[in-house]
Amino acid sequence: MSGPVPRPTLFARILAFATVLITGAALTTGCAGQMGSSSVPEGTLAISILGAPNSFDPAHLSESEPALIWSAVYDTLLLTDNYGKLQPNAAASWEYTDEAQTLTLRLRPGMRFSGGAPVDATAVKATMDRTKATPGQVQGLLKNVAAVHAPGPLTVVLELARPDAGLLPALASSAGVIADPATVSTERTPLNPVASGPYTLDTEQTVHGSKYVLQRRDDYWNAAALPFPTIEVRVIADRTAALNALQSGELNVGSVEGAYVDRLKASGFAEFRIEANSLAYVALVDRAGEMVPPLGDVRVRRAINLAFDRSRIIETLLRDQGTATSQPFNPDGPAYDAALEKTYPFDVDEAKRLLAEAGYPNGFAVTMPEIYYSKTFVPTVTQSLAAIGIEVTWEPVPPQQTNAVLSSKRYPMYVAVEGVNVFPQELAWRYLVDSPRNPFDSRSPELTALIDRYNRELDETASAAIARQISAFMVEQAWDAPLFAVPRHWVTKDGVVLLGDGTRIISTVRQFGLAQ
C-alpha cells in the first residue's frame, strides 16, 4: 500500500506543556491598557510563545511551543494536517511491507536546502542516523528503527525491529526533519541551521531567546501553501505581557483567558476555541507499589479516581471552562469512548470501602511534587484525597527541573496539566515501557498484547477499535486519575484565521491562514 496509510487521527507532536486556562487571576493586572490598531506589518504573522527553542539541532528539537519555529525552518518527511490526518510532505508517498516492519518512503524530486544543495535520500539517512546515535528526546522516537537505507536518490527504506504505529506521526514531527549533512554537525546548526523547510531565520532581526524572525523561501517546493512572507515569534513567558502585546497591536495572534475574549472581539479580533487543548490528571505512576505499596492495588487506584468531584472542580477553579473526563486520552481522538465516562462518579463512601477492602481502612500517606503549573490544584487535590484517608505532603519543584523529576522515580504520583496529543503519540509519551512519563516501567501482558495488535493493524476502523480497548484498559485498571480537559481560546486579527477543527493543537505556522 502506498500513500497515506489508513490510520486513525494521528498527531506528530510529542507533548509539551500547554498554555493552560486555569484561572483569570493570573491576568488581573496590567490588562487594562488601550486597545491599539495593529502595528504588525502587512503580510506578517506575529505570535508569541512561552519559551525559546533550546536548540535547532535536529537531534535536540523540543516538541513544545518552540516547534512553531523549528517546524518552519525544517521540512518533515510527512505532515499532520490541520484535521489530524497524515499527509505526504517531503516524502510524496510511503508504503509498509513485511508485516509492517519495512517502511519505504519516496521523496519529492527537485527539493533543495536553503544553502542550495539537493534534498535527497542520502540527506535523510544522514540526518536520521545522526539522531539515532545522539541521546535525547528525538532519539526515542526512532527506537524501533533498526536501520536506514538509501537504495536510490529519492528512496529511503526503514527497517524496523518491530512494528511501531507511532513511527509515521513521528516522521511528521522532529524525527522526520531533514538537515543538510554537510553542515548539520557544525557550530551554526544549534542557532541557524541549513535546512529544507519553507522559512529561514532572519539573523539580522532575530534575537535568540526573545525574538525570532522568519522569512519565506521563494524557492521552496510548496511556497504557495504558506501565505505569510514573514513570521515574527516573540518569547513572552508572562501571560499578562502577552495579552498587553495583543491589545497594543504588537501581535495579531494569541491565546488568552476566556474572560478576555469579548473585550478583544470588540476591538476587532476573531475568536477560535479549541475545546480540549490540555488534560489535567493525577498520574499514578507507581502502579506496582514499588515505592508506595497501596498503589499496587487496583482497588486503591480506583478509590483515588472516585475521590474527585470533577464537575465541582471545573465550576470553582475553571469558571466552567472545562470538560470532566475519566479517560486519559484526547476526547477528539480514536481512543475516546463516551461510555467510559460513567466509570468513576464522585463517591467518597465507595472510595473508602475500596480502600478498606484493599487493607487500608485508615488510608496511607504519600509525597507528591508541587509543580509550578499545577499549584492552583494543590488545595483541591489535598482535600479530595484527605476525605478518603490519603494524606499528601507536597515538595516544591523548580520549573527547570520539572521534566527531569516527572521522568524519574522520585515520586509515586503527581498532578499534571499537559497538552493533549492524538493517539498513539499520547500512548507513547505516558504508558509504554521506557516512556518519559512511565518512570516505574509499568507493564501488563494484556496491555502489551493490545499495543502489539494496534502496531500491526493498518486498517483505520480496526485500529480505532483497538485504541478504544486500550483506553478501556487504562480506565478499568486506573493507571491514572484523569480529571478534566481544558479549552484554549485563540484570537486573531488582520484577516488571520486558525485552520482546521482544533484536533491538532498549535505547533506549526501551517495552522494559520488568511481569510478568503
Q: What are phi and psi of 55, to 5 degrees?
A: -175, 155
pLDDT for 8 equals: 29
pLDDT for 24 equals: 34
Beta-sheet pairing, 414-419 with 230-235 = unpaired
Fill in the amino acid letter for 76.
T
pLDDT for 265 equals: 94
The string of DSSP codes covering 230-266 is EEEEEE---HHHHHHHHHTTS-SEEEE-GGGHHHHHH
**Could you report the per-residue pLDDT of 356-366, keeping only the tens digit for each?**
999 999 999 99
Instruction: Give the residue-averaged pLDDT of 281-293.
Output: 97
Q: How confident is the model at residue 37 (pLDDT cuts 50, 70, 90)?
A: low
Instruction: Give the residue-averaged pLDDT of 145-167.
Output: 96
**Could you report the per-residue pLDDT of 293-351, keeping only the tens digit for each?**
999 999 999 999 999 999 999 999 888 889 999 999 988 889 999 999 999 999 999 99
Contact of 388 with 363, CB cutoff 8 Å: yes
Model confidence at 2: pLDDT above 80: no
- Burial of residue 353, with CB atoms counted within 10 A of its CB: 0-12 exposed, 13-18 middle, 19 or more buried: middle
Closest CA to 496 of 505, 509, 477, 507: 509
Instruction: Give the residue-averaged pLDDT of 200-228.
Output: 95
What torsion, rounded to 10 degrees, do the Cα atoms 427, 432, 435, 440 define?
130
Write the DSSP symbol of residue 95. E
pLDDT for 252 equals: 95
E-only strand ranges, 326-478: 364-370, 390-396, 414-419
Domains annotated for the chain, with CATH where assigned, are 43-269+493-514 (3.40.190.10), 276-487 (3.10.105.10)
pLDDT for 506 equals: 64
Instruction: Give the residue-averaged pLDDT of 391-402.
Output: 91
The greatest distance separating any two alpha carbons of the chain, rounded to the nearest whole angstrom, comes to 70
Q: How confident is the model at residue 276 (pLDDT cuts 50, 70, 90)?
A: confident
Cα distance between residue 57 and residue 184, in whole Å: 7
Write the DSSP symbol of residue 162. S
Cα distance between residue 350 and residue 16, in whole Å: 35
pLDDT for 222 equals: 94
Average pLDDT taken over every residue of the chain: 89
